[in-house]
Structure 1
Amino acid sequence: MDHLFTVAGRSATPVSPTGLAAEGLFERQHLQEWVIDNPQILGESVLVITAEFDRWTDTDGVPARDRLDILGLDVTGRLVVVELKRGTADRDVHLQAITYAALVSRFDLDTLVQAHRDFLASRKQALDLEACRQRLLDHVDGEWSPELLQRPRQVIIAADFPKQVTHTVVWLSEMNLDIDLVQVGLWRVGGHLVAGFTKVYPTPEVEEFTLAPARVEAKAAAQKLEERSRARNAVHVLVGAGLLPDGTKLRLTPRHGVTESIREAIAAWVGEDDSRATATWSNNTAKPLAWEADSKAYTPTGLANHIFHSVTERKADGIQGTTWWVVDTSHVPDDVDPDEWVALAGADLASLAKRLNGTGKDWTGLHNLLGAIPPGRWTTYGDVATVIGSHAVPVGTHLATCDQCPNPWRVLNAAGRVSTGFRWADPTRTDTPADILTAEGIRFDGDTAAREARLPLDELQRLLGS
């Protein structure tokens, strides 16, 4: 952030920058604590494992003097090595970061668990080793990968960087080392200090190029990161959209990352015990699948990897597990209309997430739209979902449990019938949506509403904007 201003109407007054040293602030007592309290500075979803770590020894057993400022863990299972400088970085700061990365690349889960327990204890947070272990495992989307631990990401935070550092880091990135440079700025505004953190390298435009591995082993690690990120995003999209109710049954259909012969071997293995082919969904972004074969919780990719290993006795590599699990529409969850549910037949988690990307559970638009539907007209869950950017299933599920939705009886299923999942917010009501619609002038042929009373999609869209 090169320029900062205080603004009063048309007037913008520059704010002069200051620095940590000038304000009597230090790396350990201040800058380090800012980062620990706000780990988003280090990237998306980073868990701080430890700080001030110095419990390593050389080959002779003599304690080393090196002190790692902060060590984090991201959701893909990679370590994040953080080096802090309150002023301009030293010309060899990248060498320090590389040294720490080399040291922690030999860490295993037990080492990290112990370090995390000690770190929390130093901050008056009591957590035993088993709880710390579970915390680390739960933070990672997918199974724990020792291979990914060997490729730490490095973050150097400083007030400024000399050209020797920036030029060298660009070259190291091209040589497949993952290094971020983050600039910390400080300003005094209205009697308060304001700190800003700006990622100066790699920029979004060059990040894809500089971090694209060229060596075979680097490509494998990058692919695994990509697959985990895709799986994580799919789960978050589905949970955020509320598409799949808790208890949704999923069936195993191996797709991505396996050959036809392995698919046949998995099918034969499943034939020995059908519970191996079934999982139950819960809206938990950490581990949303409960496998019927052992009742344990997994991520989609974690379970796919487990099944792959059980069948082949080999370690899976690069499987996108969200493509392996398909909605079993023969099991209809409560409060879901069967006619809408059957539309999900054959859809896997990855394709559903792609369809719903950007969809959330803010129902304000739905409530506004329902309130605008006039008496004597009806619409469908699918048309409402199209207009508000959702899906028929979460719309129907919401209407079945909402006590604030206006005119819920004016929404029918795709066949023009009252959904079997429809519920009144007032359980004492004995009339039906069909009774009200009939009173409003809509004709029914048996249990199906007259098509001429259905609102066209374009008219429904205009109602939302009115």
Structure 2
Amino acid sequence: MDHLFTVDGRTATPISRTGLAAESLLERQHLQEWVIAHPHVLGESVLVITSEYDRWADADGVPARDRLDVLGLDATGRLVVVELKRGTADRDVHLQAITYAALVSRFDLHTLAQAHRDFLSHRGQALDADMCKQRLLDHVDGEWSPALLQRPRQVIIAADFPKQVTHSVVWLSEMGIDIDLVQVGLWRVEGSLVAGFTKVYPTPEVEEFTLAPARVEGEAVAKKLQERSRSRNAVHVLVGAGLLPDGTRLLMTPRHGVTDAIRTEIRSWVAQDTARAAATWANDTAKPLVWDADRASYSPTGLANHIFTSVTGRSVDGIQGTTWWDVDTAQVPAGIDPEAWATLAGSDLTALAKQLSGTRKDWTGLHTLLSGVPAGRWTTYGDLAAVVGSHAVPIGQHLSSCGRCPNPWRVLTAAGKVSSGFRWPDPSRTDTALSVLIGEGVRFDGEAADPDQRLREDEFRRLLDG
């Protein structure tokens, strides 16, 4: 980020850039603590395992002097090695990162749990090694994989990078060494310091055009990472969008990662206990499925792997578990429009996530659209969802609970009817949405509104463009 300004209408005033050294900020006491407190600067869903780690020794038992700044674990099961520099990175900083990656690549679950226990203990959190081990296992979406531990991802954070580093990192990435460069900047704004972290390599364009086998050695490991990322991302999208209310019933259909013969075995196994074929959804990004068979919580991939192992007696990697679970649309959650709920039929969790791009955390765009629906017109939950990148179900849920949404009575089902789940924000109101709409000039044929008065998706988009 080369230029920052404070803005007051048409006036833009430059913000002065400073640096950590100029502000007497240190790597260990300051920059490192920022990263530990906000590990998302290292990538999505990173758990910090330890920092300032130096408990490795050579074959003769002589301790090594190398000290790893930060070690993390991402949700796909890969270690994240972090090297920090408060100023311009040294010309050989990438070699330091590679050294640390080589050292941690032989760590196992026991070593990591011990390191995490010591790290938490120094910070006043008393967890024993078994609890730390479980914490690491719970963070990973799917079975623990030693093969993935051997392929650490490296992140170098510095104020700037010399060309020797950037050229080397690009070549190393092409050779299968996964290194990210993150630039940390510092600005002084109205007497306060503002820090920013910008990923400068690989850029999204580089990631898009770089083949997975070139960045992660071996097709099996690359595929495993890809499938785990897809499953994890699907869950995050669904939870973020609020598509599925807590308690939604899901039914299992084994799909990705198994042969027809194994599917037949799974069906026979389920026939012995039908509870094995169902789970309940909870809006938890780590373990959103509560399995009917044992009432334990699982990630979609973790449960699919558990079922596979229970049936075959073998372990498995690479299953995309979100493809195994479909919404039971025969059971409509309370307050959900049955017609909107029925549109979820025939789609697994992965397919549902692909339909969504918005989240339930910011409904500003939805409120803007609702304020544009004039008296005498109506629209549908689906039309609104298409414009804001959501789905009719979370749109309906939000309208029923918001209390601040403009014109919620002007939103009808796809059939042009008032939703059975519609409620006034003011419970003392005794009139109906139907009577209000008729009073505003909307014509009805029985319970269905005149389709000629419907404000559709394309009209909304024109309103936004205007």
> Which interval holds the TM-score relative to the shorter structure?
0.7 to 0.9
- Which stretch shifts more, 77-86 or 296-305? 77-86
Show the counterpart of 1:299: 299
Q: Find the aligned partners of 1:167 and 1:102 in 2 and give their Cα distance.
A: 21
Q: Residues 392 and 59 (structure 1 numbering): CA distance in 2 closer, same or farther, change over 3 Å?
A: same
Structure 1 counterpart of 2:336, one-letter code? V
Could you say what secondary structure the match of 1:422 adopts?
A: coil
Structure 2 counterpart of 1:328, one-letter code? D
Is 1:178–1:211's contact at 8 Å kept on the other side of the alignment?
Answer: no
Structure 1 counterpart of 2:383, one-letter code? D
Q: TM-score, normalised on structure 2? A: 0.85
Q: Residues 51 and 331 (structure 1 numbering): CA distance in 2 closer, same or farther, change over 3 Å?
A: same
Structure 1 unaligned blocks of 5 or more:
none
Deviation at 1:361, TM superposition (A): 4.9
Q: Residues 387 and 71 (structure 1 numbering): CA distance in 2 closer, same or farther, change over 3 Å?
A: closer
Deviation at 1:335, TM superposition (A): 0.7
Show the counterpart of 2:391: 391
Could you say what secondary structure the match of 1:52 adopts?
A: strand
Q: Find the aligned partners of 1:425 and 1:48 in 2 and give their Cα distance.
A: 43
Q: Residues 162 and 386 (structure 1 numbering): CA distance in 2 closer, same or farther, change over 3 Å?
A: closer
- Which stretch shifts more, 291-300 or 6-15? 6-15
Show the counterpart of 1:421: 421
Structure 2 counterpart of 1:122, one-letter code? H
Q: Deviations over 1:434-462 (max 9, x none)?
A: 4544555666655x235367424256666
Structure 2 counterpart of 1:287, one-letter code? K
Q: Find the aligned partners of 1:352 and 1:430 in 2 and give their Cα distance.
A: 37
**Aligned residues between the structures:** 464
Q: Residues 373 and 157 (structure 1 numbering): CA distance in 2 closer, same or farther, change over 3 Å?
A: closer
Structure 2 counterpart of 1:451, one-letter code? D
Structure 1 counterpart of 2:413, one-letter code? N
Q: Residues 46 and 441 (structure 1 numbering): CA distance in 2 closer, same or farther, change over 3 Å?
A: closer
Q: Find the aligned partners of 1:363 and 1:315 in 2 and give their Cα distance.
A: 43
Using the aligned pairs only, state the percent identity: 73
Deviation at 1:397, TM superposition (A): 2.4
Deviation at 1:288, TM superposition (A): 1.2
Deviation at 1:50, TM superposition (A): 1.0
Q: Find the aligned partners of 2:7 and 2:273 in 1 and give their Cα distance.
A: 69
Q: Residues 456 and 232 (structure 1 numbering): CA distance in 2 closer, same or farther, change over 3 Å?
A: same
Is 2:224–2:317's contact at 8 Å kept on the other side of the alignment?
Answer: yes
Q: Deviations over 1:179-234 (max 9, x none)?
A: 22344456677776665544443344334556732599632222222212212221
- Which stretch shifts more, 407-416 or 258-267? 407-416
Structure 1 counterpart of 2:79, one-letter code? L
Deviation at 1:347, TM superposition (A): 1.1
Q: Find the aligned partners of 1:270 and 1:198 in 2 and give their Cα distance.
A: 49
Structure 1 counterpart of 2:259, one-letter code? T
- The structure having more radius of gyration, on CA atoms, is 1
Q: Find the aligned partners of 1:214 and 1:465 in 2 and give their Cα distance.
A: 42
Show the counterpart of 1:179: 179
Q: Find the aligned partners of 2:440 and 2:19 in 1 and give their Cα distance.
A: 70
Could you say what secondary structure the match of 1:213 adopts?
A: helix
Show the counterpart of 2:101: 101
Q: TM-score, normalised on structure 1? A: 0.85
Could you say what secondary structure the match of 1:415 adopts?
A: coil
Q: Residues 425 and 272 (structure 1 numbering): CA distance in 2 closer, same or farther, change over 3 Å?
A: same
Q: Residues 428 and 184 (structure 1 numbering): CA distance in 2 closer, same or farther, change over 3 Å?
A: closer
Q: Residues 131 and 337 (structure 1 numbering): CA distance in 2 closer, same or farther, change over 3 Å?
A: same
Is 1:53–1:68's contact at 8 Å kept on the other side of the alignment?
Answer: yes
Q: Find the aligned partners of 1:434 and 1:12 in 2 and give their Cα distance.
A: 53
- Which stretch shifts more, 60-69 or 47-56? 60-69
Q: Find the aligned partners of 2:461 and 2:85 in 1 and give their Cα distance.
A: 55
Could you say what secondary structure the match of 1:155 adopts?
A: strand
Is 2:417–2:449's contact at 8 Å kept on the other side of the alignment?
Answer: no
Show the counterpart of 2:454: 455
- Which stretch shifts more, 276-285 or 253-262? 253-262
Q: Residues 361 and 95 (structure 1 numbering): CA distance in 2 closer, same or farther, change over 3 Å?
A: closer
Structure 2 counterpart of 1:315, one-letter code? S
Show the counterpart of 1:233: 233
Show the counterpart of 2:148: 148
Structure 2 counterpart of 1:147, one-letter code? A
Equivalence map 1:239-278=2 (5 Å): 239-278=239-278
Q: Residues 268 and 389 (structure 1 numbering): CA distance in 2 closer, same or farther, change over 3 Å?
A: same
Is 2:173–2:215's contact at 8 Å kept on the other side of the alignment?
Answer: no
Q: Find the aligned partners of 1:345 and 1:417 in 2 and give their Cα distance.
A: 21
Q: Find the aligned partners of 1:183 and 1:370 in 2 and give their Cα distance.
A: 41
Structure 2 unaligned blocks of 5 or more:
none
Q: Find the aligned partners of 2:407 and 2:295 in 1 and give their Cα distance.
A: 41
Q: Residues 334 and 70 (structure 1 numbering): CA distance in 2 closer, same or farther, change over 3 Å?
A: same
Deviation at 1:257, TM superposition (A): 2.1
Structure 2 counterpart of 1:362, one-letter code? D
Deviation at 1:354, TM superposition (A): 0.9
Q: Deviations over 1:331-373 (max 9, x none)?
A: 1111112222212111111111111123545334444554554
Structure 1 counterpart of 2:352, one-letter code? L
Q: Find the aligned partners of 1:174 and 1:215 in 2 and give their Cα distance.
A: 6
Q: Find the aligned partners of 2:166 and 2:118 in 1 and give their Cα distance.
A: 34
- Which stretch shifts more, 330-339 or 351-360? 351-360
Deviation at 1:71, TM superposition (A): 0.8
Is 1:173–1:210's contact at 8 Å kept on the other side of the alignment?
Answer: no
Deviation at 1:325, TM superposition (A): 1.0
Q: Find the aligned partners of 2:3 and 2:203 in 1 and give their Cα distance.
A: 19
Q: Find the aligned partners of 1:51 and 1:128 in 2 and give their Cα distance.
A: 18
